[in-house]
């Protein structure tokens, strides 16, 4: 089949203009012919024809000023964590975009999903599902540096990459010549504090792509990971031979100091853009375009504001902070990005989403200022409370959350009055129409509304099924890389109503987002047998739904209403063990979604939607606003495939399914098999039956669930989790994957 140049152009435009990628490249699948099959795009997705690679740039000042006093005092380099969040969002959104365009796609996580010690014939340590570094070379974006980092002509090592695999036949980007960017300056070798580029080397690794061969140092990754991954103090004497046993022994003896600012990255700038300014930093600086001059500040301010508002900020201001050179040696101004919000009556469930949104906006603004030729830094230790105290005009009961960027441009102070005129009044139907438009613009696939009374009416039947069901919540009170020390709390399930989340609740708005179908279908299947794409889909769908819910809540609050969010409104779901922390499982918010007219229940109890099938995840926004409700779906044929099928029940290794139950939702009867939570959690939450995920990461753990799971038996089992990978599990719901509607 022919290459689709038009689709390639549309995809690159979406990646740059909507997702704000700095670089975009495409590799055809043939360029991965020499990749280890279990770490390759064709191993993950045999139908793959193209690999899309996107990059975002490390702000220069965050690199040049990070690790300035010590590699483990990373300072503004902490922007790295926000960049990973952004890359995850870019990968996931591009995968969903491709699926909506009619293709299949497998978005790959930015980081933190690895097979630490290999798996079957895959012998590499710290092996990701696939290497973004190698993919960036194959996609024509980078050369391979001696250090093993991907280096580009534009930024050197100062960017991070993310990858999406697809069956679309896209036009490949021409390859860079090997050695065209790396000039063997040797700074990475001389300045590596763990000696990873000068000790325990195994010659050179070769990466052949088409008619070219790229090379890098074959280093001992355990030595490289001493400070960068395992947080061991780089001032300790590092043995001549470093392996897992040495790492664990030093963790036990010395504890952890903190993450490392990678010196190989910090000192790597292409020769054509490299210069030194010893009064500014000891690291080389990157030559940028010439500043626009004072006459360009008006345009700069407009560009910064546009970038911030696109990310969802409520206001952008230039406050008076006086001397800002503490955070940026050539700093002259500050730009504050902010959100206003109503102070919650209970726990602040939106704080994390607000931080995520502001961090993303600050990162984009920092990059935009750099594009105009000025230094800028975000993720500093500036006390935001001193900035927030300058704002006026907020009504009683409201607060602001901010993130301030320091820059070298001279910007004039602006008004700090946050008084906002009241929007025009809307009726219930108008509210629903505008919220449907808003959620669609934010990337949601479906939205439905249930009156709170509909869920109140469901409460007695759900209580009869679930109330009193045992639950065990375990927490590891030891440190990372130390044996699991469980603290287990026993409780029982109590079904909740909208009123339990928000006094005076009148409406429940349920928002759904798809998991990329290919990510789910390919879970744990050969050749790669990976669970990483599914684990990524679990947590990133939650992140994006939380952001969408935050924007909906702010829309409601601006119009005088109260709102909160929940990923398990009725309290009948659970969570799945995940590298980004426990994530809502496939059963969370199922009854809210059914009540909002978004689907029916399968035999296993997860939602089957006419739009998303069984591939949806859902968040609920509970509000005291009157919103026009949707009708429940009357056609139960959506789950007709369940009538004579028990594959989901048979796939459960812990025999967690109970006898069939029925509940009535607005006159419709829903049938499903309730799950004994402690048995289900044994596998998918606590990773004790590795067949439901972690065995595919190389964990050797497969403990049968006892007849009665108690706090004591759970604690005993948890102590057998491996010390290093225990806090980054990847699990899945075996019942969902067994469903014939999935594969």
**Maximal C-alpha separation, the chain:** 75
The per-residue pLDDT for 194 is 97
* Contacts of 211 by beta carbon, 8 Å cutoff, 6+ apart: none
Residue of 86, 566, 91 lying closest to 358 (CA atoms): 86
Distances (CA, A) of 315 to 118, 304, 305, 391, 402: 48, 11, 8, 11, 9
61 touches 328 (CB < 8 A) = yes
**Residue 64 confidence (pLDDT) above 60:** yes
pLDDT single digits (tens) 503-542? 999 999 999 999 999 999 999 999 999 999 999 999 999 9
The per-residue pLDDT for 346 is 87
Q: Give percent of the chain above pLDDT 70.
A: 98
Confidence of residue 160 (pLDDT cuts 50, 70, 90): very high
pLDDT single digits (tens) 167-211? 999 999 999 999 999 999 999 999 999 999 999 999 999 999 999
pLDDT single digits (tens) 211-238? 999 999 999 999 999 999 999 999 999 9
* Mean pLDDT score, 2-17: 97
CA distance 198 to 204: 12
CA distance 329 to 375: 9
pLDDT single digits (tens) 577-604? 999 999 999 999 999 999 999 999 999 9
Count of residues in the chain: 743
477 touches 485 (CB < 8 A) = yes
**Residue 639 confidence (pLDDT) above 70:** no
Burial 422-444 (b: 16+ CB within 10 A, else e): eeeebebeebbeebbeebeebbb
**Residue 638 confidence (pLDDT) above 90:** no
Instruction: Indicate if the alpha-carbon torsion angle 686, 690, 691, 697 is positive or negative.
Output: positive
CB atoms within 10 A of CB 650: 12
The per-residue pLDDT for 78 is 96
Average pLDDT, the chain: 95
**Residue 565 confidence (pLDDT) above 80:** yes
Extended strands (E) in 388-534: 398-407, 446-451, 470-476, 486-492, 507-514
**Residue 644 confidence (pLDDT) above 90:** no
User: What stretch of H or E contains 723?
Assistant: none
pLDDT single digits (tens) 308-344? 999 999 999 999 999 999 999 999 999 999 999 999 9
**Residue 391 confidence (pLDDT) above 90:** yes
**Residue 712 confidence (pLDDT) above 90:** yes
* Mean pLDDT score, 429-447: 98
pLDDT single digits (tens) 255-302? 999 999 999 999 999 999 999 999 999 999 999 876 655 555 678 999
The per-residue pLDDT for 294 is 52
The per-residue pLDDT for 674 is 97
The per-residue pLDDT for 640 is 72
């Amino acid at each position: 089949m022919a290459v689709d140049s038009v689709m390639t152009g549309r995809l690159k435009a979406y990646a740059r203009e909507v997702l704000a990628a700095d670089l975009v490249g495409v590799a055809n699948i043939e360029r991965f012919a020499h990749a280890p099959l279990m770490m390759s795009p064709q191993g993950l997705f045999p139908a793959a024809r193209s690999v899309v690679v996107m990059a975002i740039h490390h702000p220069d000042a965050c690199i040049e000023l990070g690790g300035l006093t010590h590699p483990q005092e990373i300072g503004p380099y902490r922007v790295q964590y926000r960049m990973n969040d952004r890359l995850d969002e870019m990968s996931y959104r591009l995968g969903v975009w491709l699926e909506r365009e009619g293709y299949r796609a497998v978005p790959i996580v930015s980081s933190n999903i690895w097979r630490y010690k290999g798996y079957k014939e895959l012998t590499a340590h710290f092996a990701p599902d696939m290497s973004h570094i190698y993919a960036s070379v194959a996609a024509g974006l980078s050369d391979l540096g001696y250090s093993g980092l991907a280096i580009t002509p534009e930024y050197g090592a100062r960017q991070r990459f993310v990858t999406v695999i697809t069956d679309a036949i896209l036009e490949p980007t021409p390859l860079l010549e090997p050695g065209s960017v790396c000039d063997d300056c040797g700074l990475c070798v001389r300045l590596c504090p763990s000696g990873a580029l000068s000790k325990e080397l195994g010659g050179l690794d070769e990466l052949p792509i088409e008619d070219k061969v790229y090379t890098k140092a074959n280093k001992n990754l355990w030595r490289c990971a001493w400070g960068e991954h395992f947080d061991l103090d780089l001032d300790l004497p590092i043995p001549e031979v470093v392996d897992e046993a040495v790492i664990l022994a030093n963790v036990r003896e010395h504890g952890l100091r903190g993450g490392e600012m990678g010196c190989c990255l910090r000192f790597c700038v292409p020769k054509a853009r490299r210069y030194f300014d010893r009064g500014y930093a000891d690291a080389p600086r990157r030559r940028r375009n010439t500043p626009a001059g004072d006459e360009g500040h008006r345009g700069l301010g407009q560009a910064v504001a546009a970038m911030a508002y696109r990310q969802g900020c409520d206001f952008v201001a230039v406050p008076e902070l006086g001397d800002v050179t503490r955070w940026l040696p050539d700093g002259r101004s500050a730009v504050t990005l902010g959100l206003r919000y109503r102070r919650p009556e209970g726990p602040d469930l939106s704080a994390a989403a607000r931080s995520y949104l502001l961090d993303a906006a600050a990162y984009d603004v920092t990059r935009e200022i750099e594009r105009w030729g000025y230094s800028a830094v975000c993720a500093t230790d500036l006390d935001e409370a001193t900035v927030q105290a300058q704002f006026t005009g907020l009504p009683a009961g409201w607060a602001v959350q901010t993130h301030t960027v320091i820059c070298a441009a001279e910007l004039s102070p602006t008004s700090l009055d946050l008084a906002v005129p009241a929007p025009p009044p809307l009726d219930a139907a108008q509210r629903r129409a505008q919220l449907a438009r808003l959620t669609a613009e934010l990337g949601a696939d479906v939205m439905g509304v249930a009156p709170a009374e509909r869920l109140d009416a469901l409460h007695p039947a759900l209580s009869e099924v679930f109330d009193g069901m045992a639950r065990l919540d375990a927490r590891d009170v030891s440190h990372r890389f130390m044996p699991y020390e469980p603290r287990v709390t026993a409780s029982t399930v109590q079904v909740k109503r909208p009123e339990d989340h928000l006094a005076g609740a009148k409406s429940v708005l349920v928002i759904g987002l798809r998991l990329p179908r290919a990510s789910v279908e390919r879970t744990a299947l050969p050749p790669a047998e990976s669970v990483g794409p599914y684990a990524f889909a679990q947590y990133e769908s939650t992140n994006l739904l939380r952001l969408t819910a935050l924007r909906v809540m702010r829309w409601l609050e601006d119009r005088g209403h109260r709102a909160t969010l929940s990923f398990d409104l009725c309290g009948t779901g659970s969570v799945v063990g995940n590298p980004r922390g426990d994530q809502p499982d496939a059963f969370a918010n199922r009854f809210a979604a059914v009540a909002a007219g978004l689907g029916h229940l399968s035999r296993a109890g997860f939602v089957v939607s006419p739009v998303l099938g069984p591939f949806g995840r859902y968040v609920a926004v509970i509000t005291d606003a009157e919103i026009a409700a949707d009708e429940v779906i009357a056609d139960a044929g959506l789950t007709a495939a369940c009538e004579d099928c028990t594959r989901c029940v048979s796939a459960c290794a812990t025999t967690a399914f109970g006898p069939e139950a029925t509940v009535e939702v607005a006159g419709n009867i829903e049938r499903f098999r309730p799950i004994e939570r402690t048995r289900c959690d044994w596998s998918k939450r606590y990773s004790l039956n590795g067949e439901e995920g972690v065995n595919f990461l190389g964990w050797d753990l497969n403990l049968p669930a006892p007849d009665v799971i108690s706090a004591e038996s759970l604690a005993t089992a948890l102590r057998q989790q491996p010390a290093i990978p225990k806090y980054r599990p990847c699990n899945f719901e075996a019942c969902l994957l067994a469903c014939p509607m999935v594969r």
